[in-house]
Amino acid sequence: MDLGLKDKVILVTGGAKGIGRGIVDALAREGALPIIIGRNERDNEQARQELMNAGYQVATVLAELTRPEACEMAVREAVEKYGRIDGLVNNAGVNDNVSLAEGTYASFMDSLHKSLVHYYLMAHFALPELKKNGGSILNIGSKVAETGQGGTSGYAASNGARNALTREWAVELLPHQVRVNAIIVAECWTPLYEKWLASLPDGDEKLETITRNIPLGRRMTTSQEIADMAVFLLSPRSSHTTGQLIHVDGGYVHLDRGI
């Protein structure tokens, strides 16, 4: 199926690794021009080279998104170099364990800057182009907003706000034909997740416990499965879909009765 994404310029924050990289790969395969926005130049360049070597178009912008001026610069650079923005994927963030008991005002605010504030800033600065082109915004969120996790107040607050902003922006941008949706991720296999499990003394047991609680197939979601939904939501094929929080999670959040 042709998703109508050929040559569309789409920004992907945190697009060099994990879920973001999966989305970048899927966009590239559809003929879009994904622009990886991230703070690690080596990771950005490695992703770019791998995709270019496979025959796909891709670009990168180096930016530390916790700095508001860097968000503005990243959008400006993309427009100056590529002439337009057709879509934005807000993906970058970190589950940083800023807890209610042990956190501080400073650590809580820092957590919000890592996982929430740049969602707003990237959308704000990209908005003129998105309005001009009838573009689309996709926010990547987490089950933590709905289920809680414990010990991660900053990340939970950020994800609750991501969900709220998805609905708020969808309403605000209706007159401009700019669609806004979110994918809610639960247990998705990424290099970061693999690294975390490897750091545990009982990593294999922990993985078994996690997958046992995922209703569909008793397995973790793959980044490819997130990416497949992402490219659909960014494409004209989902032209009447906006304001939706779509769970790609094997039923983890809503189908516990099926376990």
146 and 184 Cβ atoms separated by less than 8 Å = yes
Burial class (CB within 10 angstroms; exposed 0-12, middle 13-18, buried 19+) of 162:
buried
Residue 193 annotated to the active site: no
The H or E element containing residue 60 is strand 59-62
For 70, 124, 134, 157, 220, the CA distances from 109, given in Å and listed in that order, are: 18, 20, 33, 11, 31
Q: What is the DSSP letter of 47?
A: H
Among residues 56, 82, 119, 155, which one is catalytic?
155
For 126, 175, 186, 199, the CA distances from 132, given in Å and listed in that order, are: 10, 12, 34, 47
Neighbours of 167 (CB within 10 A): 16
19 and 223 Cβ atoms separated by less than 8 Å = yes
Q: Which of 64, 108, 86, 111 is nearest to 6 (CA)?
A: 86
Query: Which active-site residues does the annotation give?
Result: 155
